[in-house]
Amino acid sequence: MIVAHLGVAVEVLFDDGERHQVRVKRSSGHVVGDSVLVRGEVLERRPRNTELRRRDGRGAVHLVGANLDVLGVVVAPRPLPPSGFVDRAIVAARAAGLQPFIIVNKEDLDGAAELTAELRALYGASLPVFSLSAKAGVGLDLLRQFMAEGHRGAFVGTTGVGKSSLLNALCPDLGLAVGELCEARGVGRHTTTVATLHSLAGGGELIDTPGFRDFGLVDIVVDELIVHFPGFEQAMMVRCRFRDCRHRAEPGCAVTALVEKGALAEGRYQAYLDLLSEIENAQDEARRREWKN
Ligand SMILES: Nc1nc2c(ncn2[C@@H]2O[C@H](COP(=O)(O)OP(=O)(O)OP(=O)(O)O)[C@@H](O)[C@H]2O)c(=O)[nH]1
Ligand SMILES: [Zn+2]
């Protein structure tokens, strides 16, 4: 398994526990989490179960890691997640075949209990919601137990919510700089980003990619939103009459039927409609730009 990517080489962890570096071309496409057969200097990649992608500051898409099965969406009472952030992250995770879960960090701050209660009410039926303080080292055990079920994951969240602090708390040998920019550590813009896979003491693995922590997930598209929106799980089991139903006013829509019955909260549905319009507009805009070029 590839446990670190160093740009010009990857570190491979073998079944017998040995680690060796193998040189790779930059274009090889191997990423952390890949399962490979090593024949001399040649790596033969096994098919991936999942691929997690991110978008960088210039809009280019990169592969973050392979074969992850969970994605931790980290939020905090300060800075609060921007509107739609949690829904987007959940949809992006599911679209990539990952099980999302939520971490409310900075449990020690005012407003944390309210934020956790709010998120549990919104998402508790769909996914796990953990409340903890990375800095104080409080409440980490439930998260450790969850990861120890054998999960491989990564964290996303807006800047300053405490992703580095959380990785440090879970992997004490890591020593990530907290609350500092990469430049401050002398890591220039052109230095290769090192991605690593960390094994947790109690079980489970976390992938750390500095770029991913900074820029977050790729944008989601309408088709992903209409299938994966958190809260629509029940409706998706019945399915709408039209396969590409956008759950607005289409006849035979399973989602609007649930809203009418009171089985799906009006507020949740409204959050969906807002996000849908936002994504439709962004997609239209992108298409117009393509025509112009
Ligand atoms: N009060 C409180 N502060 C915390 C906690 N966890 C992290 N912080 C603080 O939040 C700030 C941001 O923490 P980081 O771990 O750097 O956040 P990050 O999400 O990795 O930020 P980026 O690297 O910019 O994406 C730091 O000043 C931390 O000390 C916590 O549990 N409680
Ligand atoms: Zn529908």
| Residue-range domain boundaries for the chain | 1-47, 50-215, 222-292
The position carrying tokens 């401050």 is 184
Nearest ligand by distance to the CA of 272: 2
- Res 25 pLDDT > 90: no
Lowest-confidence range among 150-159, 209-218, 276-285? 209-218
Q: Alpha-carbon distance 227 to 240, whole Å? A: 10
Say if residue 227's pLDDT is above 50: yes
What's the pLDDT score for residue 293?
76
**Ligand nearest, relative to CA of residue 269:** 2
- Band (pLDDT 50/70/90 cuts) for residue 186 is very low
Q: Model confidence over 246-266: pLDDT tens digits?
A: 999 999 999 999 999 999 999
Residue 45 has pLDDT above 50, yes or no: yes
In terms of pLDDT, which residue wins out, 19 or 192? 19
Residue numbers in the known binding site for GTP are 105-108, 157-165
The answer to whether the complex's ipTM is over 0.90 is yes
Which atom of ligand 1 is found nearest the CA of 213? 25
pLDDT given at position 184: 35
The terminus-to-terminus CA distance of the chain in angstroms comes to 42
d(CA 15, CA 276): 45
The superfamily in CATH containing domain 50-215 is: P-loop containing nucleotide triphosphate hydrolases (3.40.50.300)
Q: Which CATH architecture has domain 222-292?
A: Orthogonal Bundle (1.10)
Lowest mean pLDDT among 105-109, 131-135, 241-245: 241-245
pLDDT of residue 116 exceeding 80:
yes
Tokens of 114: 């309210």
Ligand 1: list residues with CB < 6 Å: 105-106, 108-109, 133-136, 157, 159-165, 178-179, 213-214
State residue 195's pLDDT score. 84
Grouping H, G, I as helix, E, B as strand and the rest as coil, residue 111 is coil
